[in-house]
Amino acid sequence: MSVKRIGVLTSGGDCPGLNAVLHGVVSAATTRGFEVLGFLDGYEGLLNPVRYQRLDAVSVSHISHLGGTILGTTNRGRFVAKVGGGKKAEIDPAILRQARDTCRGLNLHALICIGGDGSLSTSLQLQKAGVDVVGVPKTIDNDILATASSFGFDSAVTCVVDSLDRLHTTARSHKRIMVVETMGRHAGWIALHGGLAGGADAILIPEIPFHHAKVAAFAKERASHGLASTMIVVAEGAVAAKGQLSTIAPGLRGKGEVRLGGVAEQVAREMEKRTGQETRHVVLGHLQRGGNPTALDRILGTRFGVGAIELVVKKKFSHMVSYQNYEIGGVPIAEAVARIRTVPPQGQFVHHAREIGICFGD
Ligand code: F6P
pLDDT, tens digit (0-9, with 9 covering 90-100), for 76-94: 889 887 777 667 789 999 9
Residues classed as catalytic: 141
Q: Is the CB of 289 under 6 A from ligand 1?
A: yes
**Gap from CA of 257 to ligand 1 centroid (Å):** 9
Selected from 3.40.980.10, 3.40.50.460, 3.50.50.60, 3.30.499.10, the CATH number assigned to the domain covering 157-289 reads 3.40.50.460
pLDDT of residue 82: 74
Q: Closest ligand 1 atom to the C-alpha of 237?
A: 8
**Residue 118 above 70 pLDDT?**
yes
Summarize the confidence of residues 305-330 as an average pLDDT. 97
| Percentage of residues in the chain having pLDDT higher than 90 | 92
Distance between CA atoms of residues 138 and 357, nearest Å: 32
Q: Closest ligand 1 atom to the C-alpha of 236?
A: 8
For β-strands 327-332 and 319-324, DSSP reports them as antiparallel
**Gap from CA of 224 to ligand 1 centroid (Å):** 38
**Gap from CA of 166 to ligand 1 centroid (Å):** 23
DSSP element (H, E) containing 192: helix 189-197
Q: What is the 3-state secondary structure (H, E, C) of 104-138?
A: HHCCEEEEEEEECHHHHHHHHHHHHHCCCEEEEEE
Q: Is the CB of 115 under 6 A from ligand 1?
A: no
Q: Closest ligand 1 atom to the C-alpha of 76?
A: 15
Q: Is the CB of 259 under 6 A from ligand 1?
A: yes
**Gap from CA of 159 to ligand 1 centroid (Å):** 15
**CATH 3.40.50.450 location in the chain:** 5-151+293-336
Q: Is the CB of 13 under 6 A from ligand 1?
A: yes
**Gap from CA of 189 to ligand 1 centroid (Å):** 14
pLDDT, tens digit (0-9, with 9 covering 90-100), for 18-30: 999 999 999 999 9
Mean pLDDT of the residues in the chain: 95
Summarize the confidence of residues 109-120 as an average pLDDT. 96
Distance between CA atoms of residues 161 and 197, nearest Å: 6
Distance between CA atoms of residues 89 and 69, nearest Å: 25
pTM, rounded to two decimals? 0.96
**Residue 350 above 70 pLDDT?**
yes
**Which of 146-160, 237-251, 292-306 shows the lowest per-residue confidence on average (mean pLDDT)?**
237-251
pLDDT of residue 296: 98
Q: Is the CB of 185 under 6 A from ligand 1?
A: yes
pLDDT, tens digit (0-9, with 9 covering 90-100), for 247-306: 998 766 556 688 999 999 999 999 999 999 999 999 999 999 999 999 999 999 999 999
pLDDT of residue 83: 74
Residue 46 near residue 113 (C-beta atoms within 8 A) = no
Q: Is the CB of 260 under 6 A from ligand 1?
A: yes
Nearest to 142, CA basis, from 201, 183, 89: 183
Q: Is the CB of 140 under 6 A from ligand 1?
A: yes
Q: Closest ligand 1 atom to the C-alpha of 289?
A: 4
**Residue 319 above 60 pLDDT?**
yes
pLDDT, tens digit (0-9, with 9 covering 90-100), for 171-214: 999 999 999 999 999 999 999 999 999 999 999 999 999 999 99
Residue 3: pLDDT band (50, 70, 90) is: confident
**Gap from CA of 221 to ligand 1 centroid (Å):** 35
Q: Whose CA is nearest to atom 13 of ligand 1?
A: 13
Summarize the confidence of residues 336-344 as an average pLDDT. 95
Q: Which residues contact 95 (CB under 8 A, 6 or more apart)?
A: 47, 78, 79
What φ, ψ does residue 177 adopt, rounded to 5°? -90, 135
pLDDT of residue 93: 94
Q: Is the CB of 141 under 6 A from ligand 1?
A: yes
**CATH 3.40.50.460 location in the chain:** 157-289
Number of H helices, E strands in the chain: 10, 15
pLDDT of residue 1: 53
Selected from 3.40.50.450, 3.40.630.70, 3.40.50.300, 3.40.50.720, the CATH number assigned to the domain covering 5-151+293-336 reads 3.40.50.450
Distance between CA atoms of residues 196 and 339, nearest Å: 26
For a ligand 1 pocket test, name from 11, 15, 75 the mutation site with the most ligand atoms within 8 angstroms of its C-beta.
Answer: 75
